[in-house]
Amino acid sequence: QISEAEVALFSVSSYACQRRTTLDNHNSNLTDALSLLAENAELSNEDGRGVAFRRAAALLKALPTQVISISQTRGLPCLGEHSLRVIKDVLENGVSSEVESTKQSKRYKALKILTGIFGVGAKTADRWIREGIYNLEQLRDSGQTLNRAQKAGLEHYDDLNEPVTKAEADAIGEIVQKAVNSVLPGSEVALTGGFRRGKLTGHDVDFLITHPEEGKEVGLMPKVVAWLESQGFLLYQKTTRNSYLESKDGPARPASNMDRFERCFSIFKLTKRKEQESTQPEEQNDLKTEDILRPHMQADTDQQLCELSKNYQMEAASHKIWRAVRVDLVVSPISQFAFAVLGWTGSKLFERELRRWAGHEKNMSLSSHALFDNTQNKYLRATSEEEIFAYLGLEYIPPSERNA
Ligand code: CTP
Ligand code: MN
Ligand code: MN
Ligand code: MN
């Protein structure tokens, strides 16, 4: 038993943008549980509940030590009644019964599988489930009309659900740099998203592109995409043009949190490097076609043949020399670059909290394009993230500590 005196009382801000959240999470048992419930809420279009669970999880990620007793949560912000119940359950029983039953539920499993398809969101998945579609096989058999993104998503399902490594992110970075330099020398590429925060894996790779001379970046994306396409690097791409209107005295005030940069959602075809090809020993990796095919000749029954065919397909897949990787490209004019870098570095919750802080505490509106001071009725220009934090009256938090 732990005495009151032994219980450390933490004092932390209720704003994630006032906390330093590294990847060194001392409470992953609790944050995994809360994150799963957040995800389930988001997939069920219960955004309010989703944010509440995300904020609770983020608070626990920022604590300097492991919480082992519910009494340690006393006085902590961001922990609602529901989150506390989940925390208590995990602390007392090792698992949360709500998390376990969610994981087992047919609906959650189906939502996970279906939204695992690039191009499929919660709404589409929900519609399909109501039509009795719970997995990829049922989806394929259903004859549902898929859009171009969803077709690509289904085709590259396994690759896109395999985490992207830092080495792969760097390899793609080199390709993007080369593309950008080829079509507009002097352009700059910045790695953003989770990899900029120091994550070792990600679900995609995010890049921000700009040019030091304002205006030079106009029309850059289609050229970059055309170059990548001509070199065979793209399996899929959808480019959206810039819809951010510049007015006389500065950029128009953003209507929503969604930014309006010229962007490209893509799927890269990344050739595997030697050391990335396989983790298997060399001799196993060197299987010849005859070795794979030979057993087929010896199959006596259909069932055996089916087994062998499956093995063959697995062998073929493991010998694939390339893989599909999701890549997000965004082009920003240099005048908005600092805001774009800040907005695209994440985490998503950190961004949400920055905007909440700006609005509620500073009467300012922050977007990935600009910072508007509602009191002074003017835009605040910045050329670095540090300046933006300073305008907001916040201590500067480096990317590696924005993992809320
Ligand atoms: N973002 C955005 N608008 C979008 C999509 C993403 O502004 N339509 C921002 C998010 O707010 C986030 C950043 O882009 O700050 C990266 O988003 P994402 O790639 O989804 O998440 P990561 O943090 O990079 O995590 P992961 O490793 O899963 O990719
Ligand atoms: Mn620590
Ligand atoms: Mn990302
Ligand atoms: Mn992304």
Instruction: For residue 202, give the ligand 1 atom closest to its CA.
Output: 27
Distance from C-alpha of 353 to C-alpha of 137, rounded to nearest angstrom: 40
CA of 229 to the centre of ligand 4 (A): 20
Q: Is the CB of 402 under 6 A from ligand 1?
A: no
Q: What is the pLDDT of residue 284?
A: 46
User: Which letter, b or e, does each residue of 254-271 get, where b requires 16 or more Cβ atoms within 10 Å of its Cβ?
Assistant: beeeebbbbbbbbbbbbe
Q: Quick one: how many helices (H) and strands (E) in the chain?
A: 19, 12
ipTM of predicted complex: 0.96
Residues 221 and 356 in one domain: yes
Q: What is the pLDDT of residues 14-49, one digit of tens each?
A: 999 999 999 999 999 999 999 999 999 999 999 999
Q: Which of 265, 344, 402 to mutate to test the pocket of ligand 1 (most atoms within 8 A of CB)?
A: 344
CATH number for the domain including 24? Answer: 1.10.150.110
Q: Using the 3D structure, point to which of 150, 177, 207 is the last residue of a domain.
A: 150
Residue 320: predicted pLDDT: 87
Residue 120's CATH number: 1.10.150.20
Does residue 202's CB lie within 6 angstroms of at least one atom of ligand 1? yes
Same domain, 274 and 357: yes
Residues with a known catalytic role: 204, 206, 328
Distance CA 218, CA 158 (A): 36
Atom of ligand 1 nearest to the CA of 326: 29
Q: Are 162 and 262 in the same domain?
A: yes
Domain with residue 365: its CATH number is 3.30.460.10
Please tell me the distance between residue 206's alpha carbon and the centre of ligand 1 in angstroms: 8
Q: Assess whether pLDDT exceeds 80 at residue 289.
A: no
DSSP 132-172: T--SHHHHHHHT----HHHHHHHHTHHHHTSPEEHHHHHHH
Residues 6+ apart with CB under 8 A from 403: 21, 22, 23, 61, 197, 198, 199, 347, 350
Whether 297 is in a domain gets the answer: no
H or E, element range at 188: strand 188-191
Helix 28-43 with 81-93: angle, nearest 10 deg: 130
Whether the bond between 347 and the residue before it is cis, its omega within 30 degrees of 0, is yes
Closest alpha carbon to 327 in 243, 244, 233: 233
Single out the residue in 102, 136, 165 at which a domain terminates. 102
What residues does the ion ligand 3 have nearby, CB within 5 Å?
193-194, 202, 204, 206
Residues 139 and 249 in one domain: no
Cβ pair 43, 111 in contact under 8 A = yes
Residues 402 and 360 grouped into a single domain: yes
Of the candidates 202, 164, 191, the residue with the CA atom closest to the CA atom of residue 399: 191
Say if residue 174 is in the same domain as residue 141: no
Whether residue 94 is found in the same domain as residue 126: no
* Residues 162 and 257 grouped into a single domain: yes
Q: Which residues surround ligand 2, an ion (CB under 5 A)?
A: 24
The neighbourhood of ligand 4, an ion, using CB within 5 A, equals 204, 206, 328
What is the model's pLDDT at position 290? 44
Same domain, 49 and 93: yes
The closest-lying atom of ligand 1 relative to the alpha carbon of residue 197 is: 23
Ligand 1 atom closest to the Cα of residue 204 is 29
Domain that holds residue 129: 105-150
In a domain, residue 286? The reply is no
Q: Whose atoms come closest to the Cα of 26: which ligand?
A: 2
Give residue 202 CA to ligand 3 midpoint distance, Å: 6
Average pLDDT, integer, range 282-306:
51
Indicate whether residue 203 lines ligand 1 (CB < 6 A).
Answer: yes
**Residue 241, pLDDT score:** 85
Q: Which amino acid is at 123?
A: K
Helix or strand run (H / E) with residue 378: strand 378-379
Question: Is 304 a domain residue?
Answer: no
4 has pLDDT over 90 = no
| pLDDT digit string, tens, across residues 250-285 | 455 544 556 889 999 999 999 998 765 555 444 444
Cα Rg of the chain, angstroms: 24
Q: What's the pTM? A: 0.88
What is residue 21's three-state secondary structure?
Answer: strand
Protein residue with its CA nearest to atom 11 in ligand 1: 348
Beta strands 205-210 and 322-331, pairing class: parallel
Q: What's the CA-to-centroid distance between 385 and ligand 3, angstroms?
A: 19
Which protein residue's CA is at the shortest distance from atom 27 of ligand 1? 202
CA of 203 to the centre of ligand 4 (A): 8
Whole-angstrom distance, CA of residue 128 vs CA of residue 401:
39
User: Where on the phi/psi map is residue 193: left (φ > 0), alpha (ψ -120 to 50), or beta?
Assistant: left
How far, in Å, from the CA of 361 to the mean position of ligand 3?
28
Q: By alpha-carbon position, which residue is closest to atom 14 of ligand 1?
A: 344
Looking at residue 291, what is its pLDDT? 45
**208 and 97 in a common domain:** no
Is residue 292 situated within a structural domain? no
Instruction: Report the pLDDT value the prediction gives residue 383, as an integer from 0 to 100.
Output: 98
The mean per-residue pLDDT over the stretch 314-319 comes to: 70
Q: Which of 185, 199, 284, 286 is nearest to 227 (CA)?
A: 185
**Cα gap 321→232, rounded to integer Å:** 14
Position 268, amino acid:
F
**How much is the pLDDT for 1?**
54
Q: Provide the domain count of the chain.
A: 3
Ligand number nearest to the C-alpha of 193: 1
Query: Which atom of ligand 1 approaches the CA of 345 most closely?
Result: 15
